[in-house]
Amino acid sequence: MNSRVVGLIAVCLASLAVSTPGADAPDQTGLYLIGDIGPSFVNNVTFDRILGVNTSASPAVEINPGVRGTVGVGYNFIPTLGAEAELGFSYNESKTYSGIVGGVPLNGAIHLWTVPLTVGLTWRPTIPPPPKPTEVETELSLTKFFQRSRPYVGGGLGAAEVFADFDTPTTTNNNQGSGRDTVLTYYFKAGLRFPLNDRTELGVQYRFSGDTGFTIKQTKSEEIFAHTVSVALRIQF
């Protein structure tokens, strides 16, 4: 099979690979919906005190992986820049901790629910089309692959409602209970979505989020940082 035939087959395959309806349509101004869901990984959390016991000199508490989901609405003022409002939900719990702190046996776990409401901006750069292939070249290239994609980066801030449940059945005073606190939260996200049609995109996203720490039921945490890798959806109106 000579090189011209190979090149012709490759061009045909590339054409099929990039023929998704709306794949090359330019971004539009207007309203859109966004959503994402995926596993949430929280950094170890340092506590100044837990249930009234000073734990500032104790090791950070290890947090099990959890889950986070987000829904939001955005508006593109120009094709590449949009303002967004997002409402999220995440759940994580600590690994069971056990030890003597200040002469007090401290054992149990902490369950955390966080509901952030944020506003921010998202930028979607325009990727220029690659040069047309010559007679012997093909369009099977990473450039053509990423031309179909919709990369984006964004960030914002807002407030988060933190709900905590303390499960400490073996402490001296059998302290148990729950509470809530409102904290400042912020995020950075980046992702890559691919068109399913001229209005719908599906892809993957990474989100870094943080908050200023909570104070609930004589328990005070330092800043909490989380990382989420999720499936992301965008629907243009």
In the Cβ-directed half-sphere of 184, how many Cα atoms lie within 13 Å? Answer: 5
**Predicted pLDDT of residue 99:** 55
Is the confidence at residue 182, as pLDDT, over 80? yes
The pLDDT value recorded for residue 85 is: 98
- The CATH classification number of 28-131+151-236 equals 2.40.160.20
Strands 104-123 and 200-211: unpaired
CA pair distance 236, 57, nearest whole angstrom: 51
pLDDT tens digits, 110-156: 889 999 999 999 999 877 665 665 554 555 555 566 667 889 999 99
- Residue 28: the pLDDT is 75
Delimit the domains of the chain by residue range: 28-131+151-236
pLDDT given at position 49: 80
pLDDT above 70 as % of the chain: 71
Q: Residue 132 has what pLDDT?
A: 62
Lowest mean pLDDT among 91-100, 167-176, 184-193: 167-176
Average pLDDT, the chain: 80
Q: Which residue has the higher pLDDT, 10 or 195?
A: 195
Per-residue pLDDT at 196 exceeds 60: yes
Lowest-pLDDT range, 4-8, 65-69, 197-201? Answer: 4-8
Strands 104-123 and 81-93: antiparallel
Q: What is the pLDDT of residue 98?
A: 57
Q: 149: buried, middle or exposed (CB in 10 Å: 19+, 13-18, 0-12)?
A: middle
Write the pLDDT tens digit of every residue in 44-77.
988 888 777 777 777 788 899 999 999 999 999 8
User: Residue 218 has what pLDDT?
Assistant: 82
CA dist 231 and 69 (Å) reads: 10
What mean pLDDT do residues 191-207 have? 93
**What pLDDT was estimated at residue 236?**
93
